[in-house]
Amino acid sequence: MREARTDSPDAHRLLTDYFTWRAGEFPPAQGAYTITYPDPSAFVTPDGSFLVAVDDEPVGCGGIRRITPDEAGRGRFEVKHLWLAPRSRGRGLAAAMMDELESRARQFGADVMVLDTHHTLTGAARLYAKRGYLPVDAYNQNPNATVWYAKDLSVPV
């Protein structure tokens, strides 16, 4: 894995692949998938980080960004755009990327990691459950999300 700006050529291509894939899989009853490229400034240390997974070539991406503290004042970081090309799945790259993102969030002072996803992404739900993420109430208005998760990072790994 390597750090990248979200507007770098590799990251932009991976994000475009991700958005195209999601749009094609999005349930028609929910409307159109909303595409929003991430602002590179939200993924800069110590307020964020964006990674590109490389397996001979760039095959995935994901990032974290600082968001407002929770009701208890705990620092929160949000996982965004975690995605692997279908051909690279099932080899532990998503778990490795989550390990690195959680580690960086802790280094940046996060107490809690949150994320949103869609209920149809069952593989993602399994990954998050294995990692200790628990369902929570919606913390944002993402039109593409139907489920929200959080993990307490203050618990020793």
Q: What is the pLDDT of residues 40-98, one digit of tens each?
A: 999 999 999 999 999 999 999 999 999 999 999 999 999 999 999 999 999 999 999 99
C-alpha dihedral, 93 to 95 to 98 to 103, nearest 10°? -110
Specify if 140 maps to a domain: yes
Specify if 74 maps to a domain: yes
- Number of domains into which the chain is organized: 1
Residue 110 has pLDDT above 90, yes or no: yes
Specify if 8 maps to a domain: yes
Indicate which CATH number applies to the domain containing 87.
3.40.630.30
Specify if 94 maps to a domain: yes
Specify if 139 maps to a domain: yes
Q: How do residues 7-34 score in pLDDT, each as one tens digit?
A: 999 999 999 999 998 888 877 767 778 8
pLDDT for position 35: 87
Specify if 157 maps to a domain: no
Which is nearest to 86 in space by CA: 156, 29, 20?
20
Domain that holds residue 20: 2-152
